[in-house]
């Protein structure tokens, strides 16, 4: 049943739902891999259904903060704004855990933390990640006790079958609050949880950490993916040089 027309309709539907080209491509590539397996097993002739849909990777727009900007966010006194305080702490937890995605944070279990090591599998790829537990992470856990559930963080607060909805609601709320937090920190940008991941990679690169180490830290399956993360940073460096050259004109 899978042909070029069906895949084009699927791509159009995903774009209508608001997914970016990189997101639609991610799902297409997974589907294409399984389709190729089906062809190899003789379950279907190869109709080349992915010929006219996008399966590449676009460069992403720079979404990273400097270490100084991260410190500004961390130093904000939000004690009188509990919801905003929680949003900031979840952002910082992501940064401290090498840019852990929000869905992985939400589903972390207390049992994932053992003997000073946090071990979990990425929801996106299934890759096993192991992170050394630090004081910064422990301080956040101590601040937000998640009693009554098996989850490490109080993002999902009730194990009643609505876990996915709880995670999605929290993500929307936190991303909304992070924009206000950015304003309070004097940062002219639309801050979201995703900045934590890009920022960790950017800061690591700025400190001459090898690409292979950054790739491993982010849980990427190849250095090519990591390079796409960092290409936008290179562009900003070139722009800076260009401004220096043009100053004398």
Range of the domain at 176: 67-234
Are 103 and 140 within one domain?
A: yes
State whether 42 and 150 are in the same domain.
no
Position 175 in a domain: yes
- Residue 86: C-alpha distances to residues 4, 46, 62, 92, 128 (Å): 46, 51, 25, 10, 27
> Do 106 and 176 belong together in one domain?
yes
Q: Is residue 158 domain-shared with residue 87, that is, in the same domain?
A: yes
Whichever domain contains 180, its CATH number is: 1.10.443.10
Flag whether 43 is in a domain. yes
pLDDT of residue 57: 76
φ/ψ of residue 121, rounded to 5: -110, 135
Q: What is the mean pLDDT of residues 30-57?
A: 93
Q: Are residues 31 and 95 in the same domain?
A: no
Residues 160 and 229 in one domain: yes
Interval 29-33 mean pLDDT: 93
Instruction: Pinpoint the alpha helices (H) of 46-156.
Output: 67-75, 82-96, 102-106, 135-143
The pLDDT, as a whole number, for residue 56 is 85
Mean pLDDT on 225-239: 61
Specify if 118 maps to a domain. Answer: yes
Question: If you ran DSSP here, which 8-state letter would residue 62 be given?
Answer: P
β-bridge pairing 113-114 and 117-121: antiparallel
142 and 119 within one domain: yes
pLDDT band at 189 (very low <50, low <70, confident <90, very high): confident
Same-domain status, 48 and 86: no
Is pLDDT above 90 for 142? yes
User: Please, is 190 exposed, middle or buried when counting C-beta atoms within 10 Å of its C-beta (0-12, 13-18, 19+)?
Assistant: exposed
Residue 244 maps to a domain: no
In a domain, 212, yes or no: yes
pLDDT (average), residues 140-163: 91
What interhelical angle do 223-246 and 194-206 show, nearest 10? 70
Q: What is the pLDDT of residues 82-125, one digit of tens each?
A: 999 999 999 999 999 999 999 999 999 999 999 999 999 999 88
Whether 31 and 13 map to the same domain: the answer is: yes
pLDDT value, residue 198: 87
Q: Is 206 left (phi over 0), alpha (psi -120 to 50) or beta?
A: alpha
pLDDT at residue 248 above 70? no
Q: Angle at the Cα of 198 (from 89 to 188), degrees rounded to 5?
A: 70
Q: How many domains does the chain have?
A: 2
Q: Is the residue at 248 inside a domain?
A: no
Indicate if the pLDDT at residue 233 is higher than 60.
Answer: no
Check residue 126 and give its pLDDT: 87
Q: Is residue 245 part of a domain?
A: no
């Amino acid at each position: 049943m899978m042909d070029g027309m069906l895949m084009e309709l699927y791509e159009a539907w995903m774009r209508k739902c608001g997914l970016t080209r990189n997101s639609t491509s991610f799902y297409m590539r997974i589907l294409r891999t399984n389709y190729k397996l089906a062809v190899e097993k003789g379950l279907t002739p190869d109709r080349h259904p992915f010929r006219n849909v996008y399966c590449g990777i676009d460069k992403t727009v720079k979404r990273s903060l400097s270490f100084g900007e991260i410190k500004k966010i961390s130093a904000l006194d939000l004690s009188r704004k509990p919801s905003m305080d929680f949003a900031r702490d979840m952002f910082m937890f992501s940064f401290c855990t090498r840019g852990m995605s929000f869905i992985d944070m939400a589903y972390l279990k207390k049992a994932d933390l053992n003997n000073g090591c946090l071990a979990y599998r990425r929801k996106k790829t299934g890759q096993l990640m192991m992170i050394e537990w630090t004081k910064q992470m422990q301080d956040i856990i101590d601040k937000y006790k998640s009693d009554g559930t098996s989850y490490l963080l109080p993002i999902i607060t009730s194990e009643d079958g609505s876990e996915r909805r709880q995670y999605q609601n929290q993500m929307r709320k936190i991303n909304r609050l992070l924009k206000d937090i950015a304003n309070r920190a004097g940062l002219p940008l639309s801050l979201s949880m995703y900045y934590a991941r890009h920022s960790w990679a950017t800061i690591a690169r700025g400190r001459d950490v090898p690409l292979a180490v950054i790739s491993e830290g982010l849980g990427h399956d190849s250095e090519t993916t990591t390079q796409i993360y960092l290409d936008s940073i290179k562009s900003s460096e070139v722009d800076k040089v260009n401004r220096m050259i043009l100053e004398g004109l």
